[in-house]
Amino acid sequence: MAFRFLPKTIALIPDGNRRWARKHSMSVFNGYELGVRKFIDFSRWCMGYGINNLSVWALSPENLGRNPIEVRALFTIYKNVATDQEMLEMVHDNRARIRIVGDRKILPKDLNRALRKLETDTEHYKDKSINLLIGYGGREDILQAAKNFAGSVRKGLNGTVEKFQSELISSAVPDLDLIIRTSGERRLSGFMPWQSYYSELYFSDKLWPDFTKRDLNLALADYGKRDRRYGK
């Protein structure tokens, strides 16, 4: 499929895993696991189009307030995917670097170890990146940056936009060209407030496990129609 132009960076808010599971009389665990499999496919599709910087919101601090059984299931799934053969093949075939973005202190130690190994094993890849936002909150991101930035200014350092950005938890994530959110929700919910400054937004009514390559194509075709003036 031909597109007028493509985004360089895409971010994903993959909503609808729980609703999909209930709709199909399956466990929440199965819904989330299918959601992870779909993201592996999504990554392959994007990189096949030459979109080489992806971000996905896997877990927010607010998500930790859900049923403890569900939270433990998420932790288990993310630990498993860090050593999953399909995930590793996708990452290494595409030579994609994995970055974990978020507050690691709220994650279990075994999950942190598995994610840290995935980061270490891919840190030599330079041209493609997959940013996994686990334990990430937009307000927490800005708050940490503000505290560090204020300390630097008090010490007499020059307070610039670039300096503030360098203090973000998400400082390694570039500005986002396109943000896709699934399941019919039409809000960002605090997702990457710094990087979404001039992002184009695309909302799909599909529940995330039902999202297909055709749905991605619709999002990219819609993005290609946008007139990105950046306020000019």
Nearest to 56 by CA among 69, 68, 38, 70: 38
CA distance 44 to 96: 11
Tokens of 94: 């595409």
Catalytic one of 30, 63, 80, 148 = 63
Instruction: Check if the beta carbon of residue 100 is closer than 8 Å to that of residue 58.
Output: no
Helix (H, G, I), strand (E, B) or coil at 194: coil
Instruction: Tokens 């696991």: give the residue.
Output: 33
3-state class (DSSP) for residue 128: strand
Q: Is 15 known to be catalytic?
A: yes
Positions annotated as catalytic residues are 15, 63
